[in-house]
Chain A
Amino acid sequence: MIPTVGGAKALLSLRSVSHEFVADGLRVPALEDVDLDVPDGQFLAVVGPSGCGKSTLLSLIAGLRRPSRGTVFCGGEPVTAPMPRKIGMVFQEANLLPWLSAIDNVAFPLKLRGVPARQRREAAARMLALTGLAGFEDRLPHQLSGGMKQRVAIARGLVQDPAVLLMDEPFASLDEQTRMVLGDELLRIWSETRKTVVFVTHSLSEAVYLADRVVVLSARPGRIVDDIEVNLPRPRTFSLTSSEHFGTLRERIWRHIRSGERR
């Protein structure tokens, strides 16, 4: 059975997902009873106080960990291991292979799948062009700026044309200007590719600015305490961030976070 949200097919579904870590013989609950349906093409942001299990949530969806209880579905199929064809991932650090050029980094997922060299170069070049890096194909990672590296990582996440792009605080280690430029770039790429995006961030403005919907997790163990639809018009522009509605949404998330941190 494929779960549905308001009649539309959910691409990603989490069904009472809980996760615990075992550290020094102690069981530390990280996530508790998370139920979540993400329709195809939605840009979902996940926020919450630090240590609330946001990143754990992403690694469960990515199939890097199995939940202690509950199931993650992607396209109706339970996720038990990474699904490279369906799910791409971008991390806080670009995590490029430092010995490969930009284009070979983007082509890396295709190489693992055994795609012939010429085809994968063509696909990787297209992705670099999409992320605004045409002309930088042969640079090594240490010859690229932080923002450019993250663009390469996004291109790598998209090169297999996956249905879902998971982003784990992808702009957190960039300076504010680069972060804003890349946010707009991400929205452009998203509007051209219409992927389902799950975007973990600790920046409330970033969440509201980018997403269709913001899910707020409580402090550890992470539970969904609010699920907010961001009904701001698209394309989003910088002037929106000073609108009253933007402020109200930010305010609403902030109240959850503050009460979570105080506990």
Chain B
Amino acid sequence: MRRSERLVVAAAALGAVLGWEALVRRGWIDGGLAPAPSVIAPALVALLTRPEVLTSLGVTAWEILASFMIAVPVGFFIGFTLAEVPFLGGLLRPLVNFLFGVPKSIFLPVFILVFGVTITQKIAFGVFTTLFVVITGGIAAVESVPRELLTVSRVYGATRWQMVREIYLPAMAPILLESARLGMIFNITAVLLCEIYGARDGIGYRIAAWGENVQMPQLYAALLVVAAGAVAVNEALRVVEARIGRWRSVP
């Protein structure tokens, strides 16, 4: 983004906050359901200084991270296998495609029955949801590798391992990162859904509780924290993606 664009975006955001504040003060928006920014801000500060809230954030962060660290390598491995082994691909790819379209949330009760209301259950459900995105990305990445480049590397005497390191990996890297980033969005959604549905700790659990008790300032403050965290993770992955995929872009 250029400097001028950034200024416009920042001004628009500031305008929205000020406009919201004004609308609540004039009574055009019900401050009970949507408290003014001036009410949310102190709640946010209070929230971030309460140790039990910080613990909850830590629990959620751990669940998201653990699920991601499992789902990404497992998903890529399955994706590569399905792309490179025609027999398995023919057998299982339709299944993956069907399951990709099924909303994963309907399986949540099953996960509770199997794992109980535990952290393991959140991680398992996160992995389950993320896996399909990552598998599909892994398959697409392998298929994006230009065959001609493999021929070139054969002419110049590449071994199998050299083909993997010099052609496959660099060619696939941008798509792999992109699907990891999309997977992360699904992953965060899945873990928070789990926590809101039923949990003993975690920020989703607190959001659900504040919502039920109509503690609106706390609720909105927590939403801000979660949104900021998700945006930060997504943007960080996007920066890496852009850097690694620099060769794809036409200036």
- Point out residues on A near B: beta carbons under 8 Å: 62, 64, 82-85, 87-89, 91, 93, 95, 97-99, 108-109, 111-113, 140-143, 156, 160
Contact = CB atoms under 8 A, between A and B. Distances in A.
B90 interface: no
Given A82-B157, A113-B157, A64 B151 contact: yes
Interface stretch (B9-17, B107-115, B243-251): B243-251
B157 A91 contact: no
Contacts of B98: none
Given A91-B148, A112-B162, A142-B250, A99 B156 contact: no
B153 to A, nearest CB: 7
A111 B166 contact: yes
Given A98-B247, A99-B247, A142-B247, A64 B155 contact: yes
B91 to A, nearest CB: 22
B149 interface: yes
Contact of A84 (B151, B155, B166, B170): B155
9 contacts: A62-B155, A82-B154, A84-B156, A95-B148, A95-B151, A99-B171, A108-B156, A109-B156, A140-B246
A89 B166 CA distance: 18
A109 B148 contact: no
B157 A97 contact: no
Among the interface residues B152, B156, B166, which one has the most CB atoms of the partner chain A within 10 A?
B156
B158 A112 contact: yes
A73 B124 CA distance: 59
A85 B157 CA distance: 9
Nearest to A99: B247
Considering the complex of A and B, which 6 residue pairs feature the smallest CB-CB distances, nearest first? A84-B157, A109-B156, A99-B247, A95-B148, A89-B155, A84-B156
B152 A95 contact: yes
A93 B158 contact: no
A112 B148 contact: no
B167 to A, nearest CB: 7
Given A91-B148, A97-B170, A143 B251 contact: yes
